[in-house]
Amino acid sequence: MFFFESIPWYNVVMWFVVFGILIGLNEVARASKWGSIILFMIIPVILTPIWLLKGSNEITSWFTWVKVYSALAGSLIYMVIRFTNYHKKHKWYLTLVPAILAINILEAVIREFQVGFVGFEGVVDGMRYISGGWNYVNGVAGILNILLICGWFGIFATSGKRKDMVWPDQTRLWVIAYGVWNIAYVYSCAPGNAFYSGVALNIAATVPALLWAKGTWMQNRAQTLSFWMMWVMTFPYFFALGSTFNVSVSYNPAANWTLAILSLALNVGLAVWQVYRIVKYRFNPLKDEMWTDTAEYKLVNSYREDLLDTDQRKIKVS
């Protein structure tokens, strides 16, 4: 195969198991405040001593430790928006959402450049690597992806039983560009997990946002990433090299180049379109929401609690 070596049937089954668990846990977190508290506060507190007792190993590098706590930090920050009114009284708090996102992407960009610059070859951190120019190409795509984050002052929490954090200006175009960039990153910089943490993890966050929980991608991404990283920290060898469930990438430079170039092309294309809209409509990318005229934005924005309240007041008055 072009991207992966042979994928036995039991690895295909495991892919769907991982995908299903991520989707399921994300729905548990969406369903209630207590579900989120248990998953993102109580369980990590219980697991942290276990991770410390395990000590360092060839799988959990500095990047793994940073990733698990930054993902959890994102989930906790989003819980404040979902379950309190703090962000309504303190608008600055909303800037933490893009900040966490940008930091997570930047962590990966730094790792991408590290792999390329150091020239990882052979087994490093328990995974077999090849490095090359694609690391720099995808690193640049990641930087672009950070610069294309916009409209964060429009973030809000929905009303009703399911309290979601929704980001209307985070369009499907950006999500797709991010997804391809992240898959390319994992493929090059965490190749031992690319089949699961590259493909399954990205799709698990995207499917709900495209189908039944529109506008929730950022929340889904932080939550599913938290679940995955907690699993990796607790069972570091489950999908590692030599495991029954490990699916090896092809280690074909053409595959790495294909993903990196596609990642860069998507982010460059979105950048050109976004700059065009900034110039045409005189948007301030640090303040304005830039996609308010699109059907996608209008649909997601219709979930806004204050708009719902306004509509209900109009009905009562009439």
pLDDT digits (tens, 9 = 90+) for 191-223: 888 999 999 999 999 999 999 999 999 999 999
Coil, strand or helix at 249: strand
Q: What angle do CA 274, 276, 281 make, to 5 degrees?
A: 95
The DSSP string of 220-238 is HHHHHHHHHHHHHHHSTTS
Q: Is pLDDT above 80 for 240?
A: no
Residues of the chain above pLDDT 90, percent: 75
The DSSP string of 99-163 is HHHHHHHHHHHHHHHHHHHHT--EEETTEEE---HHHHHHHHHHHHHHHT---GGG-EEB-SSS-
306 pLDDT band, cuts 50/70/90, is low
Provide the pLDDT for residue 318.
Answer: 30
Sign of the torsion formed by the C-alpha atoms of 267, 268, 272 and 278: positive
**Mean pLDDT of the chain, nearest integer:** 90
Most confident of 124-128, 156-160, 225-229, 310-314: 225-229
Comparing CA positions, the residue from 72, 216, 75, 82 lying closest to residue 161 is: 82
pLDDT single digits (tens) 57-101: 655 667 788 889 989 999 999 999 999 999 999 999 999 999 999
Helices (H), 55-95: 62-83, 86-89
Provide the pLDDT for residue 305.
Answer: 64
Provide the pLDDT for residue 56.
Answer: 63
State both tokens at 22: 């991520």
Q: What angle do CA 50, 229, 83 make, to 5 degrees?
A: 100
pLDDT single digits (tens) 23-53: 999 999 999 999 999 999 999 999 999 888 8
Q: What is this structure's pTM? A: 0.90
Q: How far is CA 44 from the centre of its chain?
A: 19
Provide the pLDDT for residue 308.
Answer: 45
